[in-house]
Amino acid sequence: MTNRREFLKESTAAVAAGGAVAFFPWTRKAFANQAKNDRPGVGCIGVGGMGTGDAREMARYGDVLAVCDVDEKHVLRAKHDQHISAGKADAYEDYQRVLERDDVDVVSIATPDHWHSKICVEALAAGKHVFCQKPLTLTVDEGRLIREAVNKHQKVFQVGTQQRSQINLFLTAVAMCHDGRLGEIKRVQAAIGGAPGSDKFQKTTPPPNLDWDKWLGQAPLVDYIPQRCHGTFRWWYEYSGGKLTDWGAHHVDIATWGIGMDGLGQGPTTIGGTATHPVPFENGHPTEDDRFNTATAFSVSCQYPGGVELVIRHDTDNGVLFEGTKGRIFVNRGKLVGKPVDDLKSNPLPEDALVKLYRGKPLEGHKANFFRVIREGGLPVSDVFSHIQALNTCHLANIAIRLDRTLTWDAEKEQILGDDEANSLLSRPQRAGYEVEA
């Protein structure tokens, strides 16, 4: 059997020879809310780099009435962005001011990860439809709270895992898995890069444009370090989960979708592996506070019912490799390759294969799908329920490598069996005044 790198080398050569083609055209259907009085009001909370991009897209489908960020530079830049509101949106530091507005129907949330759940739950309670960037949660318990809030308030919730809308790549790969083109899937490898290590960082005074206390939110109150904040916050367990939740939220999502393990009560049975961290750990917690602390390298094996193995590992071949009894395919944001892919030219997928994955909606862009579901009802392609199932696997992988042991998981009860210390990491202490409450 060829190994992963040999397979990718062979597949890349096939692509160069013309073996891979686009099988499904992008429909680019126009969104129906074009009339001025039919455009929802949008509030954008968190308008750094990703948030600004999201706000610009939101402005295609609704009127951006409010922008919000705890960094004054970010919020003023977004306010005056010609592609967002050209100065017409109101600017806020406090997101609750956005949620109080009756004319805001939809909120886009692109804050650091540790703020997602609190704002999401409160936005749903305020009657808003929610688009939130991934990874959605900081802990497994936060996923429960968001899921309960979505069920209670019955608003549309789309997660920013846009790979689910890449029709000629990831969506086609999942459809092939579901259509039996690979036979019985035995193994999936999700390859993602490792988080950076570093030397010690210097503690300093926050810049005057940044409200450091509010940026920290539920996380522990610590001295300001620039590398804890914009752009590099994901390399600290206090605010995120390193590459295991950064890229894992994308690739593990595709992997679990492909093997049909993305439903409620589904998940791995055991999770274990090895990792390298840039700081020492004690009882699952980093012992130094002045350098990045998420894993720089890792290999985690997740065993699923039916004998399917998902391997999540640090690798330069970023992407997802599905291996079945009839063949294997590799997919990432640049290619979909493998013999079963070549076979689609003579034996294409059923016409409705991709539409089924899109819950019967037209095959259009990620945010177009979100606004269509707001108008028509149903579930968006990247629904909160399947995302939480995939992200729980990422959180469990982090717990396993932080404690350096294999975990046994009850996916139905969402509990780690026989391990109180590991279960304690399913949630985090929350700083007074910033608690996440349903």
Q: What are phi and psi of 184, to 5 degrees?
A: -85, 120
Q: What are phi and psi of 74, to 5 degrees?
A: -65, -50
Q: pLDDT at position 193, please?
A: 87
What is the mean pLDDT of the segment spanning 98-113?
98
Asked if residue 23 has pLDDT above 50, the reply is: no
Q: What is the mean pLDDT of the chain?
A: 92
Which residues neighbour 53 within 8 Å (Cβ) at sequence distance 6 or greater? none
Rounded distance between C-alpha atoms, residue 155 and residue 228, angstroms: 33
Rounded to 10 deg, the angle between the 49-61 and 366-376 helix axes is 50
Q: Tens digits of per-residue pLDDT, 8-21? A: 444 444 433 333 33
Query: Which residue is associated with the tokens 């540790």?
Result: 114
pLDDT of residue 195: 85
Q: Give the separation between CA 320 and CA 311, rounded to whole angstroms.
A: 10
Rounded distance between C-alpha atoms, residue 326 and residue 346, angstroms? 17
**CATH tag for 4-21+164-351+383-424 (out of 3.30.360.10, 3.40.250.10, 3.30.2000.10, 3.90.226.10):** 3.30.360.10
Query: What's the predicted TM-score (pTM) here?
Result: 0.92
What's the CA gap between 282 and 133, in Å, rounded?
Answer: 31
Q: What mean pLDDT do residues 325-352 have?
A: 97
pLDDT for 8: 44
How far, in Å, CA of 157 to CA of 84, rounded? 21
Question: Three-state SS for 91?
Answer: strand
Per-residue pLDDT at 35 exceeds 80: no
- Taking only the tens place, the pLDDT of each residue in 57-104 is 999 999 999 999 999 999 999 999 999 999 999 999 999 999 999 999
Domain at 36-163: CATH code: 3.40.50.720
The token duo for 74 is 């970010």
Q: Model confidence over 207-242: pLDDT tens digits?
A: 999 999 999 999 999 999 999 999 999 999 999 999
DSSP secondary structure code for residue 324 in this structure? E
Residue 1 has pLDDT above 90, yes or no: no
The percentage of residues in the chain with a pLDDT greater than 70, rounded to a whole number, is 92
What is the structure's pLDDT at 241?
97
The reported pLDDT for the residue numbered 2 is: 44
Amino acid letter, 241: G
DSSP 170: I
- Lowest average pLDDT, out of 6-15, 22-31, 155-164, 230-239, goes to 22-31
- Taking the domains of the chain in order of start, what are their residue ranges? 4-21+164-351+383-424, 36-163
Mean pLDDT of 142-159: 97
C-alpha pair distances (Å), 182 with each of 190, 317, 336:
17, 21, 14
Q: What is the pLDDT of residue 3?
A: 52
DSSP 8-state class, residue 263: S
Quote the pLDDT of residue 31. 40
Question: How far apart are the C-alpha atoms of 243 and 293, rounded to whole Å?
Answer: 12
Q: What is the pLDDT of residue 317?
A: 85
